[in-house]
Amino acid sequence: MQKEIQDLVNAGEMLPLMEEFYTIQGEGFHKGTAAYFIRIGGCDVGCHWCDVKESWNADLHPPTKKDAIVANASAYSKTVVITGGEPLTWDMGPLTSALKEKGMQIHIETSGAYALTGTWDWICLSPKKIKLPQPEIYEVAHELKVIIFNKDDFRFAEEQAAKVNDNCILYLQPEWSNRDKMSPLIVDYVMQNPKWKVSLQTHKYLNIP
Ligand SMILES: C[S@@+](CC[C@H](N)C(=O)[O-])C[C@H]1O[C@@H](n2cnc3c(N)ncnc32)[C@H](O)[C@@H]1O
Ligand SMILES: Nc1nc2[nH]cc(C(=O)O)c2c(=O)[nH]1
Ligand code: SF4
Ligand SMILES: [Mg+2]
């Protein structure tokens, strides 16, 4: 990559854009809400069950000016979801400031593994055992969404719930490939521990992006 472009990416003025699409938020608190998704490439957390491994290598996704991303998003929706990859790999300050200038509601999907940058109306924290969140994000997360792949993930979910702020809404979401096995256990767990709610990847049932 040219040095000038690398500098702009490092400053958050350009971002490796994998894809953008207008759809329905499928997961968590805002499920069912129309939103424009911006998927930024680059993630080195390495979840073995990640459903978007094509996002991991940032070099495969073209550095894109923040203003081009904003122009596309604001043409479609008042609500944007910034996801990835791991969006906090990058400085989210410039993109989120530009989206705010257009009056957008800005949500993030993040593992929290890197420093929180940017201005957010909604933070969905989905922590991962293999690269734990930075401590600051627990205070500001609006929802905690723990993926349940095996039984030990219930223990991990409680450990993470003990760290978030009191207003944070707690979700357990079955890992997609293991959903037939884990969903019944999640249902039982939520009935026994009603501070938790169930989150499903409803977009996959609807066959939408
Ligand atoms: C692809 S990740 C991108 C954002 C960020 N890297 C993160 O993990 O939060 C978006 C959301 O999908 C969840 N997810 C990824 N793969 C999944 C799978 N196989 N089953 C269920 N949820 C999954 C993640 O935990 C996260 O909440
Ligand atoms: N419809 C839809 N809802 C989503 N919620 C979180 C997603 C993500 O990949 O971050 C996602 C996604 O990929 N599609
Ligand atoms: S942190 Fe998110 S994008 Fe990265 S591997 Fe895990 S689920 Fe995939
Ligand atoms: Mg997804």
Chain mean position to CA 94 = 18
Residues 6+ apart with CB under 8 A from 105: 78, 79, 80, 121, 122
Mean local confidence (pLDDT), 41-68: 98
CA angle 183, 189, 195 (to 5 degrees): 120
Residue 192: per-residue pLDDT: 99
What domains can you pick out in the chain, each with its CATH number?
3-206 (3.20.20.70)
Both tokens assigned to 129: 């055992």
pLDDT tens readout for residues 113-170: 999 999 999 999 999 999 999 999 999 999 999 999 999 999 999 999 999 999 999 9
Q: Which residues line ligand 1 (CB under 6 A)?
A: 43, 49-52, 83-84, 86, 109-111, 126, 145, 147, 173, 175-176, 201
Residue 134: per-residue pLDDT: 98
Residues 6+ apart with CB under 8 A from 91: 10, 11, 12, 117, 118
Q: In whole angstroms, give the CA distance from residue 70 to residue 82.
A: 11
Residue 53: per-residue pLDDT: 99
Q: In whole angstroms, give the CA distance from residue 204 to residue 209.
A: 7
β-strand partners of 33: none
Q: Is 43 annotated as a binding residue?
A: yes
ipTM above 0.95, yes or no: yes
Q: Is 50 annotated as a binding residue?
A: yes
Of 53, 25, 20, nearest in space to 37 by CA: 20
* pLDDT at position 1 over 90: no
* pLDDT at position 76 over 90: yes
Residue 182: per-residue pLDDT: 98
Atom of ligand 1 nearest to the CA of 28: 27
Q: What is the 3-state secondary structure (H, E, C) of 29-57?
A: CCCCCEEEEEEECCCCCCCCCCCCHHHCC
pLDDT tens readout for residues 174-186: 999 999 999 999 9
